[in-house]
Structure 1
């Protein structure tokens, strides 16, 4: 079966080197439940996925699970891409440097001084927020995939 169509729970377990029996015992579910999750018959609850991610040493499993089971995540959390650690670190550094060089914190503080963002400030505020979202995305990629 092509990699992109494999079950994320099964892939994570196999990559961690566990049998279904060993994994089921470790995450405190029945083998039948684990099979149902891995065959796509049932969606595991978040607490089970949290244990899987912990014991399989795959924090990206939690992100993948939320992405596949909750459409709201993309409204809050940016789409993450797996990259090399070097690429993620460089992207993070460059985005932070650009943010600092543009004096974005100072500009944001000047806008926020009166406690509101007015219509004139809105375009600049949105541009700063776009930059912050890229910084957050870079940090999350580093956290999830490193």
Structure 2
């Protein structure tokens, strides 16, 4: 795992107020295994991460783990950063309003109504898809914020 993300397991455990010993016991794994996951020596299996998500009450951990360990997932699902409910709600609402105010929905329908995206439409279509990706990212962040509040 990249250096900037390998401690996500440790960060979430500490945020939950658990020691390595307490977390390992509740997860049903050895302290040595947990230490190896938290230092990046080993990647935890999905089943252990699923238990961490529940124990640590940190759904964003699942998104981060999958982005770091699954190339297909990371190419399809945007990065989900932990945010407060207020911050995530504001971000999602702002992205939706910007999308609507720019009439991107109408432009998307105009581009796709003939079921062909030709070369002259490709740049605009790609820009609309980027806007939609930002909305999806914001919605996922709100989901994580809601479940950890």
Moved more, 15-24 or 65-74: 65-74
Specify the alignment match of 1:139 in structure 2. 139
Question: Would you say 1:44 and 2:44 are equivalent positions?
Answer: yes
How far the C-alpha of 1:57 sits from its partner, in A, is 0.3
Specify the alignment match of 1:63 in structure 2. 63
Give a deviation string over 1:87-129, Cα, whole Å, max 9, x none: 3322211211121222222222232222221122212211211
CA-based RMSD? 2.6
Give a deviation string over 1:48-93, Cα, whole Å, max 9, x none: 1121011110112223323444455543233444444333322211
Specify the alignment match of 2:111 in structure 1. 111
Moved more, 56-65 or 18-27: 18-27
- Judged with a 3 Å threshold, the aligned counterparts in structure 2 of structure 1 residues 131 and 7 are, in CA distance, closer, same or farther, namely closer
Q: Which has the larger radius of gyration?
A: 1
For structure 1, the residue ranges without an aligned partner over 5 or more in a row are none
Specify the alignment match of 1:75 in structure 2. 75
How far the C-alpha of 1:132 sits from its partner, in A, is 0.8
Question: Would you say 1:99 and 2:120 are equivalent positions?
Answer: no
How far the C-alpha of 1:131 sits from its partner, in A, is 1.2
Moved more, 107-116 or 127-136: 107-116
How far the C-alpha of 1:5 sits from its partner, in A, is 8.5
State TM-score, norm by structure 1: 0.77
State TM-score, norm by structure 2: 0.76
